[in-house]
Chains A and B, each alone.
Chain A
Amino acid sequence: MNQPPPDSYALDPSWTDLVPLPQDDGEHPLAQIAYTEEYSEAMSYLRAIMAKNEYTPRVLQVTAHIIEMNPAHYTVWLYRAKTLLSLLQSDDGAAADLGRELRFLNDLALRHQKNYQIWNHRQTVVEAMAAAPELVGQMVREEKQFTNAMFRRDGKNYHVWSYRQWLVRRFAAWAGEVEFVDGLLAADVRNNSAWNHRYFVIFGQQGEEGVGDEVVEREVRVVEDAVFIAPQNASAWNYLRGLLGKVGRPLSSVEGLCLTYAPLDNPDAITSSHALDLLADIYAGRKEERAKAIKALELLAARYDPIRANYWNYRAGIIKAAA
């Protein structure tokens, strides 16, 4: 781990060469924060070190100290990253132990789930580690494991997902991602972040030529299974629509599926407003069946999703105007 902070920078011989730089908050400042002595002192020594453009191991000590007190301090993170990279290039390379840095980040990330900066910094560190190609495979495996651990705490953590997607794309680590999503969806079929990642993976690794028919059919089956156990799950229906749109298949190719959950001739048996929504679009595209589209939208507005009545009525209005 990082070298523990001194009890007092002012009294510690390895810091006494610096003249601490106080903070200028201006006259009668608004929203001024009552810092602890500890925070003010560490910050004033960091300012002093930054003013000298010093990139030495003790920067890691003071930045770790401040980050522990305020992990959202982006300036401190940036300076720490700069220092690490500069140490790597120097004779003091051993001081920049990137593995240790990741462990430092793991601990912080687990304690500060909503923090941004940790993940941005992690990207910098991993990028630096990738300079050794023989270690990349192992590193990517471990990174996936760590993000998995984060997802076990919160399967929808936006920063962690952004990082995961960066990692997968950066190192072309697509293998195993679909299975990983399958696992998340088995635990919670409504995890929209997992569905989004599914879309990212299916279409992200394909490049220009697009996905083959068998993949599309498999994915449609995945949706069929998902809506079978939870017909009112918007994530699955959104994914279906996105999938069909991306590969240029008409919505009408899933009309049968929609009718299973939204039998228009038996409105009492409807179990999915999303199926109704899709049906409205399918029928709106067919002149002779516009009345059915209107009916679906009226059911949504009046009965199955009335908080969105204005929106459903707007759509019905568009169809009526076109007729």
Chain B
Amino acid sequence: MSAASPSSSSKSPSNSTTKTPSTPSEVFNDILSSAQPAPTYSQQTWNPSNPYFPHYHNQNMTTTASPPEPIMPPTPALFTTPPILQDTLQTLSSKEQLSTAEICMKHLSNPSDPFPILSRRQHIAFLESGILGGRNGKLPHGMVLLDASRPWIIYWCLQGLDSLGVDVGKYRERVISSLRPLQNESGGFGGGNGQVSHVTASYAAVLALATVSRGEGEDGEEGEEALGIVDRRAMFHWLHEIKDWESGGFRVCVGGEEDVRGVYCALVILALLGLPTSGNLVKGAKEYLGRCQTYEGGFGATPNGNEAHGGYAFCTLAGLCILGEPAEVLRKHLDMDRLVSWLSARQYAPEGGLSGRTNKLVDGCYSTWVGGCWALIEAGIDGPQDEKEVALGQNKAVGSLWSREGLARYIMSCCQSPKGGLRDKPGKNSDYYHANYILLGLASTQNYFYYTPSPMPLPSSSPQDNESEDLPLPLTAPFLWRYSPRIPSNTPNVAEAIIEDMPEWPDDVEEEDMLPGQQIESDRLKVHHPIFNIPFERVGEIERWWKEKVGF
């Protein structure tokens, strides 16, 4: 247990590590009161605008006269002690779990840095190396394993950089010239030049194009939309080719396997490109997604009985939320109680992070695949929210059903690689995939996403569901989401947690732009869209782009 003790010297709050954890708030108060005198660790590492401590912030708010000195409280016992219930029987699963929990506890309870700050510059350098390559401008040949996933690399790095505050618009032309040779005449994108069109490669290509801004055209006017290089008509035809009319699902490519990724990726492509849903392309998709729910409450890869898995959970929920208003479409097609129970069980203590399956280990990438589900679920429970009420903090919402603090701690303490980039867990190397999905997950802890009422009835809210799916309308539901840094609280008498006092991150963080003393060391990330996982502000631009189109 010595590793879990916040400080080995003098008056360490040792009771916090030996006592049974009671409620998180009690544990926290305990620690605050026992953390006197001021801790020995460097104040520089403490980020006073850290959003993840609702109770700490509450204290700030009650002492209105002069805010207390920002101190960094030691890690709560919840994250530094093993769970209170542990079986004596050991098996492979429990041994792996135990050793993971132990190494995470070590990171989480680091007395000199209980809540590390986001190593922004290092992560930026890491992600830039992913798109720009090394000194020869190329990725090392070992990356050949991703030779059929090049749109993915580009998307992961661009989105990760955008989250970190880098203006990725500067890559616009190169993104276009990199992806153009991947598009096939018969529709869709392959993972590389000359490769067969694949729905995940097409999805990643569309997302990569969607991350970069419209740029400036001649005369300083708004430039061409990067998504304009997509042959929408051919894409539309190709999507018909991979549609499985019997099951309602989509295959990943002509002759390829069929699973829920196919559905989610196809729906994102349809929605972002503003393609019509005529020709019944979405017919049976909701039912297909609903059938992927398993007896555990989570979602398998197909409706055929696969094990519930976090990756497929996000695909299913986001897919349904593209097809309609969350409160309606989720409640209609899913067993919400079992779903919420399973999703909630994905968060572990002491790690704080999220796992993908029952009795599997936490992994940073589930910060998106599982963590990203919470916004969708909470919207499904709350129903549409009024933007003005949200802004005033007057809306009725269920609040967070998960521990944002736990996930943020796991990400900050366990997922940041000392060499830059983010990783699955301590002991693993960082990679572009994990870096992006961990950053998106961190951004999810910092924002409240909600669904606003539709100005006109959505196709899905008509009672005659099947008929309305014939309407040649683009999918509009995902464009009705909004976000707020004001996260509704679910703890009575605790003013809402966070976040307004977090400094906004400057738009682009070129090293040379930074001023001495600038509030650069903030954990605040740029916000993404909860369904598309692209920069939030781009979604409105993209919607305007396809709305201006007539036909293809």
Residues in A lying within 8 Å of B, measured CB to CB: 21, 23-36, 39, 47, 50, 69-75, 78, 81-82, 116, 120, 123, 155-156, 158, 161-162, 165-166, 169, 187-193, 196, 199-200, 204, 229-235, 238-239, 241-243, 245-246, 270-273, 277, 301-311, 313-314
Report the stretch among B66-74, B253-261, B514-522, B543-551 that lies at the interface: B253-261
Residues in B lying within 8 Å of A, measured CB to CB: 20-24, 26-27, 78, 84-87, 89, 91-94, 130-133, 136-141, 143-150, 153-154, 157, 171, 173-175, 177-181, 190-196, 198, 253, 255-257, 294-296, 301-302, 304-309, 340-342, 344-345, 347-349, 352, 357-360, 398-403, 406, 490
Residues of the A chain whose Cβ atoms lie less than 8 Å from the Cβ of B348: 307
Is the CB–CB distance between A235 and B359 below 8 Å?
A: yes
Minimum CB–CB distance for B362 against chain A, Å: 11
Is the CB–CB distance between B23 and A306 below 8 Å?
A: yes
Please list the 7 inter-chain residue pairs (A to B) with the smallest Cβ-Cβ separation, ordered nearest first: A242-B295, A190-B93, A307-B349, A34-B138, A196-B307, A311-B344, A31-B153
Given contacts A31-B157, A161-B306, A162-B306, whether A310 and B490 have CB atoms under 8 Å apart is yes
Residues of the A chain whose Cβ atoms lie less than 8 Å from the Cβ of B153: 30-31
Residues of the B chain whose Cβ atoms lie less than 8 Å from the Cβ of A47: 194
Is the CB–CB distance between A23 and B91 below 8 Å?
A: no
Closest to B27 in A: A306
Distance, CA A72 to CA B148, complexed state (A): 7
Minimum CB–CB distance for B381 against chain A, Å: 9
Partner of B403 from the list A233, A304, A309 (CB cut-off 8 Å) is A309
Is the CB–CB distance between A190 and B190 below 8 Å?
A: no
Distance, CA A193 to CA B92, complexed state (A): 14
Partner of B196 from the list A78, A155, A245 (CB cut-off 8 Å) is A78
Residues of the B chain whose Cβ atoms lie less than 8 Å from the Cβ of A235: 358-359
Residues of the A chain whose Cβ atoms lie less than 8 Å from the Cβ of B192: 23
Residues of the A chain whose Cβ atoms lie less than 8 Å from the Cβ of B143: 33
Residues of the B chain whose Cβ atoms lie less than 8 Å from the Cβ of A169: 304
Minimum CB–CB distance for A271 against chain B, Å: 6
Partner of A34 from the list B91, B140, B148, B198 (CB cut-off 8 Å) is B140
Closest to B25 in A: A309
Is the CB–CB distance between A31 and B253 below 8 Å?
A: no
Residues of the A chain whose Cβ atoms lie less than 8 Å from the Cβ of B309: 158
Can you list 14 A-B contacts (CB < 8 A)? A29-B174, A31-B154, A39-B147, A72-B146, A72-B149, A75-B191, A78-B253, A192-B358, A193-B307, A232-B85, A273-B85, A309-B24, A311-B401, A314-B401
Residues of the B chain whose Cβ atoms lie less than 8 Å from the Cβ of A35: 141, 144, 147
Given contacts A39-B144, A230-B87, whether A303 and B138 have CB atoms under 8 Å apart is no
Distance, CA A170 to CA B153, complexed state (A): 36
Is the CB–CB distance between A233 and B359 below 8 Å?
A: yes
Given contacts A33-B143, A34-B138, A162-B306, whether A311 and B178 have CB atoms under 8 Å apart is no
Distance, CA A203 to CA B144, complexed state (A): 42
Residues of the A chain whose Cβ atoms lie less than 8 Å from the Cβ of B23: 301-302, 306, 309
Is the CB–CB distance between A234 and B345 below 8 Å?
A: yes
Is the CB–CB distance between A73 and B148 below 8 Å?
A: yes
Is the CB–CB distance between A165 and B306 below 8 Å?
A: yes
Given contacts A241-B295, A306-B349, whether A158 and B403 have CB atoms under 8 Å apart is no
Distance, CA A120 to CA B258, complexed state (A): 10
Given contacts A156-B360, A233-B359, whether A189 and B89 have CB atoms under 8 Å apart is yes
Closest to A239 in B: B295
Partner of B132 from the list A30, A158, A239 (CB cut-off 8 Å) is A30
Given contacts A191-B93, A272-B85, whether A34 and B141 have CB atoms under 8 Å apart is yes
Is the CB–CB distance between A192 and B307 below 8 Å?
A: yes
Residues of the A chain whose Cβ atoms lie less than 8 Å from the Cβ of B139: 31-34
Is the CB–CB distance between B295 and A310 below 8 Å?
A: no
Minimum CB–CB distance for B140 against chain A, Å: 6
Is the CB–CB distance between B91 and A187 below 8 Å?
A: yes
Minimum CB–CB distance for B230 against chain A, Å: 15
Distance, CA A161 to CA B22, complexed state (A): 40
Is the CB–CB distance between A188 and B91 below 8 Å?
A: yes
Closest to B399 in A: A310
Is the CB–CB distance between B174 and A74 below 8 Å?
A: no
Distance, CA A84 to CA B170, complexed state (A): 46
Is the CB–CB distance between B131 and A233 below 8 Å?
A: no
Given contacts A232-B86, A232-B87, A303-B20, whether A25 and B181 have CB atoms under 8 Å apart is yes
Given contacts A70-B148, A74-B198, whether A311 and B402 have CB atoms under 8 Å apart is yes
Is the CB–CB distance between A314 and B22 below 8 Å?
A: no
Partner of A311 from the list B86, B173, B175, B340 (CB cut-off 8 Å) is B340
Is the CB–CB distance between A75 and B190 below 8 Å?
A: yes
- B21, B94, B345: most-surrounded residue (chain A CB, <10 A): B345
Is the CB–CB distance between A161 and B154 below 8 Å?
A: no
Closest to A193 in B: B307
Closest to A204 in B: B305
Minimum CB–CB distance for A63 against chain B, Å: 13
Given contacts A34-B138, A238-B296, whether A192 and B349 have CB atoms under 8 Å apart is no
Partner of B345 from the list A188, A239, A308 (CB cut-off 8 Å) is A308
Is the CB–CB distance between A27 and B177 below 8 Å?
A: yes
Residues of the B chain whose Cβ atoms lie less than 8 Å from the Cβ of A72: 145-149
Minimum CB–CB distance for A220 against chain B, Å: 15
Is the CB–CB distance between B177 and A165 below 8 Å?
A: no
Distance, CA A5 to CA B483, complexed state (A): 55
Residues of the A chain whose Cβ atoms lie less than 8 Å from the Cβ of B198: 74
Distance, CA A73 to CA B191, complexed state (A): 9
Residues of the A chain whose Cβ atoms lie less than 8 Å from the Cβ of B194: 21, 23-24, 47, 50, 75
Residues of the B chain whose Cβ atoms lie less than 8 Å from the Cβ of A232: 85-87
Is the CB–CB distance between A120 and B347 below 8 Å?
A: no
Is the CB–CB distance between B403 and A308 below 8 Å?
A: yes
Known: A73-B147, A306-B23, A310-B403. 16 other contacts (CB 8 A): A23-B193, A25-B178, A35-B147, A39-B147, A71-B145, A73-B195, A75-B191, A165-B305, A165-B306, A192-B360, A196-B306, A230-B91, A233-B359, A238-B358, A306-B24, A310-B490
Is the CB–CB distance between A192 and B359 below 8 Å?
A: yes
Distance, CA A232 to CA B86, complexed state (A): 7
Is the CB–CB distance between B177 and A196 below 8 Å?
A: no
Closest to A281 in B: B337
Is the CB–CB distance between A246 and B345 below 8 Å?
A: no
Distance, CA A302 to CA B490, complexed state (A): 15
Distance, CA A24 to CA B179, complexed state (A): 11
Minimum CB–CB distance for A98 against chain B, Å: 18
